[in-house]
Amino acid sequence: MRFILLHQLGFQAVWAACVLGGAHGHSAPGLLAALAFVGISQRYAEAPRRDLGLALRALAIGLAMDLGLRGLGLIGYADGAAQLLASPLWLLALWAAFSQTLPVAFGWLAERLALAPLLGALGGLSASWAGIRLGAMSLEAPPALAFAGIAAAWAIAVPLLLAPLAAPARRAPPLSSPRRFASEARE
């Protein structure tokens, strides 16, 4: 329990460095904080390869989500921060850091994927609202439309991020799995 608390406090520090830096046009504080957080998370991870894969998955999902929301004209970001394909680097760093919280604090949600869209939408909305209030992000469309788009994007993103953490027993065995052949032989 203490590790989970420390891990979440560490992520909150990364979030603050990314968002406050982004609000002032600087990606470096968030990039450095996220790199340190991901490195420390990898050091103590139960499954470092899986968690590194989660970071890459989060970068791809976050970039796609950001491009979609910006492409639809729903959101914008403070000017000045370095960007990759119109996505601020501090935001991509935040996605990588967020991915490391999934197995530590949100692994239980992988077993309850039906809740993931709702909690993703609520968490994404609250984080976005805070980012807007701090000046890192802006709404470029009427608030109801922009927030609906943000909620929908997060409702899709969180289950996609959690899918690799779902219990192996819930996944269908591969076609060449001995377990699958054994179960088919009994039928």
Q: Name the band, by pLDDT with cuts 50, 70 and 90, for residue 84.
A: low
Q: Coil, strand or helix: which one is 83?
A: strand
CA distance 97 to 51: 10
Q: Name the band, by pLDDT with cuts 50, 70 and 90, for residue 87.
A: confident
Evaluate if residue 46 carries a pLDDT over 60: yes
pLDDT in tens, 94-119: 999 999 999 998 888 988 989 999 99
Beta-carbon-side half-sphere exposure of residue 183 (alpha carbons within 13 Å): 8
Paired residues of 138 in beta bridges: 76
State the pLDDT at residue 176.
44
Look up residue 143 and give its two tokens: 């608030």
Average pLDDT, the chain: 88
pLDDT in tens, 126-178: 999 999 999 999 999 999 999 999 999 999 999 999 999 986 644 444 444 44
Give the residue-averaged pLDDT of 25-40. 95
Q: Name the band, by pLDDT with cuts 50, 70 and 90, for residue 179.
A: very low
Domain ranges of the chain: 2-186
State the pLDDT at residue 28.
93
- Residue closest to 149 by CA, chosen among 62, 79, 87, 70: 70
Q: Name the band, by pLDDT with cuts 50, 70 and 90, for residue 69.
A: very high
Q: Name the band, by pLDDT with cuts 50, 70 and 90, for residue 49.
A: very high
CA distance 131 to 23: 8
Q: Which residues contact 141 (CB under 8 A, 6 or more apart)?
A: 72, 73, 74, 75, 149
Query: Which conformational region is residue 47 in: left (phi greater than 0), alpha (psi within -120 to 50 degrees), or beta?
Result: beta
